[in-house]
Amino acid sequence: MSVKEGILAEGSPIYDGESRPAGGAATDEHLRTALILSRSFQGWTGAPIDYISLKWWGFNQYTGGDGILTRGYGEMVDWLEAEIERLGGVFRLKAPVAAVEPVEGEEEEEVSVKISTRWVEDIPEVMHAELLFNFHAPYTLLTLPLGVLKYAPPTLTPTLSIRR
């Protein structure tokens, strides 16, 4: 159930204390208020209200303590690498991504991902080297530093929306 469906539902808390017409149907004013409220969540989540799951709504109200990686993020990366390789995957670091695009196979469900990397090395007055590699996989987990995403993003096909 989406947040929009939850807000517009018959038992929604938005109607607490409100009189309802016979049959329980919401008035036009109730619907207008509910839609205004539900649309306010779009700005907070960055997603259309029909796509925001009500199941996990309120996750941000968790009152437990914060977590700290006492030995740093390297340990988490090492664990992720070991787990990916244990499951038969390939783990790569320091492979600057130039482009990510889907590649369709002969069958409709045979879609894979092509990742192109480009490493450029300039040594003034000595050389300019570009190393280009292409990787193909049925799926990928790609992480980019925020600075790279903002100032030197790879070409993503299809493109990400500005809001994402």
What is the reported pLDDT for 87?
92
Which pLDDT does position 72 carry in this prediction?
79
- The pLDDT value recorded for residue 157 is 86
Q: Where are the domains of the chain?
A: 3-61, 92-156
Query: Quick check: 118 and 63 in contact, CB under 8 A?
Result: no
Judge if pTM exceeds 0.85. Answer: no
Comparing 65 with 115, which gets the higher pLDDT?
A: 115
71 versus 24: the higher-pLDDT residue is 71
Percentage of the chain lying above the pLDDT 90 cut: 7
Of 5, 80, 95, 83, give the one whose Cα is nearest residue 41: 5
Q: pLDDT averaged over the chain?
A: 75
pLDDT for the residue numbered 110: 73
Three-state SS sequence of the chain: CEHHHHHHCCCCHHHCCCCCCHHHCCCHHHHHHHHHHHHHHHHHHCCCHHHCECCCCCHHHCCCCCCCCCCCHHHHHHHHHHHHHHCCCCCCCCCCEEEEEEEECCCCCCEEEEEEEEEEEEECCCEEEEEEEEEEECCCCCCCCHHHHHHCCCEECCCCCCCC
For residue 113, pLDDT over 70 is answered with yes
> pLDDT tens digits for 34-84?
777 767 766 666 677 777 777 766 655 666 666 667 777 888 889 999 999
Range 133-147 average pLDDT: 84
Region at 63 (left for phi over 0; alpha for psi -120 to 50; beta for the rest)? alpha
